[in-house]
Structure 1
Amino acid sequence: MRNPYIDDETEGCVVQDFNTYVGYVADSYDVSEDGLTYTFHMRDGYTDVEGNAITADDVVYSFERKWASESYSTASWGDFKGPDAVTKVDDMTVQIEIPSAGFGLTFLGLLANLQGHIYSKTILDANATKDDPYAMTWSAQNGGWGLGPYYMESQTADQEMVLVANPNYAYGEPEVKKVTLRVVTDAGTRASLMKSGDVILSEDILPNDQATLAEDSSLTVPVVGDPIEYVDLTLVTNKAPFNDLKVRQAFMNAIPYEQIIEEVYAGRAVLKKGNINPSTKGYTTDGIPDMVYDVDKAKSLLAEAGMDSLDFTLTVSTATQDLVNLCILIQSYAADAGFNVEVEQLSAAEFGTARSGATKQAILYRNRAQVQTPEYSCITFFKPGDDPSSPSRWSDELNDQFWDEVDAARALPDQLSDEAGEHWNAAQTIMVTAAAEIFICAIQPTQVFSNSITGWAYRSENQNDFGNFSIS
């Protein structure tokens, strides 16, 4: 499955409709009356890049391979039983059982994103060995076994990858026949290459450079209505000082949100209220606390916690220069509220270890839900109960309140209904009020590309769909 594309704010660009799912490897699907059985009808005549027919066998095999891979995380599938829940009815029909009707939306979202890719069993079987029955080793270095618009022709580690159009792609052979991806590590150099016209598209351009490049009439700097990548500040609650709710709420009011948007992101960001996509059907952000810089309120809350001032360390990765700049801005503004912030910069690897281990006091990073459903947004980033490995380990009382609302929404068969939306809203209100996870702002796409391109798509996993491009 996949999310279809719809028009959005920037002419010639599209975004995914996260409330709708349409066929991809499957042509269509049916749902049983109890909402527990999904029947997928395979696309007639669909083949892999070598011309081998794609059938129900490839779907069953793909789930078996995922669950057999040590590098594949099954956690986001919840209680779904994986390959045990997938049944071949005939060559062109697959039935999949899900644990609850309410899981259906997130189930489709998982199928439509990175977790749900279908592979060519024929090609992988041909390169399997007795010790490697799913060709994991071979597939790590070779392309052509997936069913996307392109396959990898060649790669040079840390330098370049060449993609070639898949003539048998489900939505027709891509117009662009070859794509060369080159590694340019410096953001300023990437911006310069766009300005000179030496490349046709570049990504992870700094906002100030985007603002400058937007003045060039030959370039497009896209803007979307609801950006989904956000700046996430986690106050680690398994230790002092942020095991105190008043201290967390005080710091939430000591962050200069509007100044961050203007000074760090050159206006290319919007305020964020929770982490559920505001365009979700049936959902509203009404009543969720606004993110406001309020020194007096911050001081008052800190005083209620029995403190006049507080020293702590805010940790950030050196790989994200915008976030380093953001930390310095927070350091300056928060001082007026009594927070003395020391900024600690770690390498990407060191930061990843610190984040997963919840060993720091506060950490800042970019985040996004690669499945844009409210259930996924609520359950993926927060672990229920008293799990010490969760950076956002709230008190038991807050956990109970939050999970009661989440579970009430998940119990409903239609998670896009107004009734479900009320529970999602309540859960997000509890989460924002708890101030363990502070969503500072949502940033606009970091890509810049030539006006010769139309069909650029804003996607949940932040990848460029070259198969949707037209180039004049």
Structure 2
Amino acid sequence: MTQPDSPVPAPILSARGEGIMNSAFGRRRFIAGGLSGLGLLALAACGGGGAGAASGGGGGGNRSLVVAVPALAPTLDGVVGGGGLTLESFEMNANLQAGLVRNPYITGKTENTVVQDFNTYVGYVAESYEVSPDGLTYTFHLRPGLTSPLGNAITADDVLWSFERKWNTPTYSKTVWQGGFAGPQAISKVDDRTVAFTLTNAGFGLTFLGLLANLQGHIYDSTALKQHATGADPYALEWAKANGGWGLGPYHVTAQTPDQEMVLTANPNYAYGAPAIGQVTLRVVGDAGTRASLVASGDVDMAEGIRPTDQARLANNDAVVVPEADPIEYVDLTLVTNKAPFDDERVRKAMALAVPYEQIMQQIYAGRAVQMVGNINPNTRNYDVSQLPKPSSDVARAKALLAEAGHDRIAYTLSVSTATQDLVDACVLVQSYAREAGFDITIDQKTAADFSTMRNNATGQAIIYRNRSQVQTPTYACTIFWKPNNDASNPSRWQDASAARFWEVVNRAQAIPDPLSPEAGPLWLEAQKILVDSSPEIFVCSIQPSQIFRTDVGGFTYRSENAIDFGNITILDA
């Protein structure tokens, strides 16, 4: 399938909010594998990316954007450089970095917005990719003539060195790859523009693409980083924390004042063409209400971290857009199962029935939340979320389960970060409503750092926080949060008989080469039924995007990490 060989402009969104679909780049090649899902993946690589393949540039670059943000990323090196799992670091990754592939963008629910299509992947740093018949080898063909913002050519050697840097950096999380990819030794250079990755498990392929596209798989300008390497710091981690230009995303940082302001300048060599917005200024405004007011007054173009109550207040303001999507960020009430009282599944089920779901969605999130059923994206192909039991409040049933477990009342401590006021408020509602069901809850407010430590070490009894799957595949959603052997990514430490049944089903699903096939869908559903019934984590609700923007801002993208892709933003002419 032949596509234009030159970059195409950014999607211009019509007055009806429809993305004008632009073709992807180059030739999309694939080896037919006889596997429906892999065939679909290959077709995604072949058939253009819609608005997503066209993210980036109107090319003018003479427009600027001012964004009010709660904070700035502590480092420009994102997750690899120890930036932490924060929105600010994710946003740096989304705008300063680029992977071999990405999820394409498709028309969103709100006019002039787009969302990621989590079922497919298109070329990014790579112009195309192909999958071997057995589903184990993914071969990527880099875009010809691609350079970094610093002007250095990007070749297969940069891909190999980027993964070497990841694997040899202590702060990088390698465990997420272990389901089917062994690391740098599983990558081979075919020629200067071609690299091949070999997997150990064909069923891991979709998640492998997701990891390349979201959070984990960025490709770096190794020439620039090597120039600033030292014997003590062979991968230039310290230099990269404060210096830009070595990533391949739509922007690079050209100025910053710590804790105050950061200036992003468009990358003229960006894979999808120079972004329409030439300069983005991130300005720290600590108060959420003030950030909202600045957008309403027109003093800034966009704002992040807006309270749902302020979003609801501005929803009828003709100058402001409050976006909506099928949300994937959710309120997660995690019960630590390796100690009392939640080592008893009946007590966990009772707690799930004692949560005031509807009241939290209406009173805390001002109606900007939706019911959540399990943690697999309901838009996943061949997955029918309607067959899962919906969460509900039932005081009488909760009390009966406690009595069955031999308890009249249960006292426990629910921990929450002070950095998430909405969740502190939600705790108060849970405490009030659960009391009638037989739970006496003490709310423990912790600093963000102390809360993170408690979550990782599972030292508390229960925690509540915002969660999401960075990779929106059923494999990732079903494996990342419940790893055995007390892994830090398993904050519930769920390892009982129900967990064993859950993993038995998940492993059967993972053995199917195509995780989106009709054969895999019922297995993911069966695993989710076990998870929801056992209740190591209670999925309270999914919450809408936390950004707002002026009505002349187009191309807002709802992404898996809740960061804005400024490379897809345009200014709409009146």
Name the TM-score, length of structure 1 as normaliser. Answer: 0.98
* Matching residue of 1:128: 229
Which one is further off, 180-189 or 261-270?
A: 180-189
- Shift in CA distance, 74/210, structure 1 to aligned 2, threshold 3 Å: same
* Matching residue of 1:146: 247
Distance 2:240 2:139 in 1: 29
Q: CA deviation at 1:387?
A: 5.9
Given residue 254 of structure 1, which amino acid in structure 2 is its aligned partner?
Answer: A
* Matching residue of 2:529: 429
Give identity over the alignment, percent.
61
* Matching residue of 2:459: 359
* Matching residue of 1:167: 268
Q: CA deviation at 1:384?
A: 2.3
* Matching residue of 2:25: none
* Matching residue of 2:282: 181
1:25 aligns with 2:125: yes
383, 400, 412: which is aligned to 1:283?
383
Q: Alignment partner of 1:192: what SS?
A: helix
1:198 aligns with 2:299: yes
Q: Alignment partner of 1:116: what SS?
A: coil
Q: CA deviation at 1:81?
A: 1.5
Correspondence list, 1:285-324, <5 A: 285-324=385-424
Q: Alignment partner of 2:185: what SS?
A: helix
Q: Size of the alignment, in residue pairs?
A: 471
Distance 1:371 1:166 in 2: 26
Q: Alignment partner of 2:512: what SS?
A: coil
1:373-395 deviation per Cα after TM superposition (whole angstroms, max 9, x unaligned)? 11111111111256698432234
- Shift in CA distance, 389/85, structure 1 to aligned 2, threshold 3 Å: closer
- Shift in CA distance, 106/387, structure 1 to aligned 2, threshold 3 Å: closer
Q: CA deviation at 1:198?
A: 1.4
Q: Alignment partner of 2:407: what SS?
A: coil
Q: Alignment partner of 1:403: what SS?
A: helix
1:468 aligns with 2:573: no
Q: CA deviation at 1:132?
A: 1.9
Consecutive unaligned residues of structure 2, counting only runs of 5 or more, are: 1-100
Q: CA deviation at 1:462?
A: 1.4
* Matching residue of 1:64: 164
Contact 1:239–1:361 under 8 Å retained in 2 = yes
* Matching residue of 1:158: 259
Q: Alignment partner of 1:105: what SS?
A: helix
Distance 2:164 2:476 in 1: 23
Correspondence list, 1:186-265, <5 A: 186-224=287-325, 226-265=326-365
Q: Alignment partner of 1:335: what SS?
A: helix
1:344 aligns with 2:471: no
- Shift in CA distance, 140/285, structure 1 to aligned 2, threshold 3 Å: same
* Matching residue of 1:455: 555
Contact 1:281–1:416 under 8 Å retained in 2 = yes
Q: Alignment partner of 1:259: what SS?
A: helix
Distance 1:216 1:292 in 2: 34
* Matching residue of 2:201: 100
Given residue 171 of structure 1, which amino acid in structure 2 is its aligned partner?
Answer: Y
Distance 1:380 1:428 in 2: 14
Given residue 451 of structure 2, which amino acid in structure 1 is its aligned partner?
Answer: F
* Matching residue of 2:482: 382
Q: CA deviation at 1:68?
A: 1.2
Q: CA deviation at 1:306?
A: 1.3
Provide the alpha-carbon RMSD of the alignment.
1.3
Correspondence list, 1:42-57, <5 A: 42-57=142-157
Q: CA deviation at 1:410?
A: 0.6
1:415 aligns with 2:515: yes
Distance 2:554 2:367 in 1: 24
Distance 2:283 2:566 in 1: 15
Contact 1:165–1:174 under 8 Å retained in 2 = yes
Distance 1:242 1:36 in 2: 41
* Matching residue of 2:88: none
- Shift in CA distance, 18/194, structure 1 to aligned 2, threshold 3 Å: same
Given residue 352 of structure 1, which amino acid in structure 2 is its aligned partner?
Answer: S
Q: CA deviation at 1:229?
A: 0.2
1:202-248 deviation per Cα after TM superposition (whole angstroms, max 9, x unaligned)? 11111010001112111100001x20000000011111111111111
1:426-449 deviation per Cα after TM superposition (whole angstroms, max 9, x unaligned)? 111101111110010000000001
Q: CA deviation at 1:183?
A: 1.7
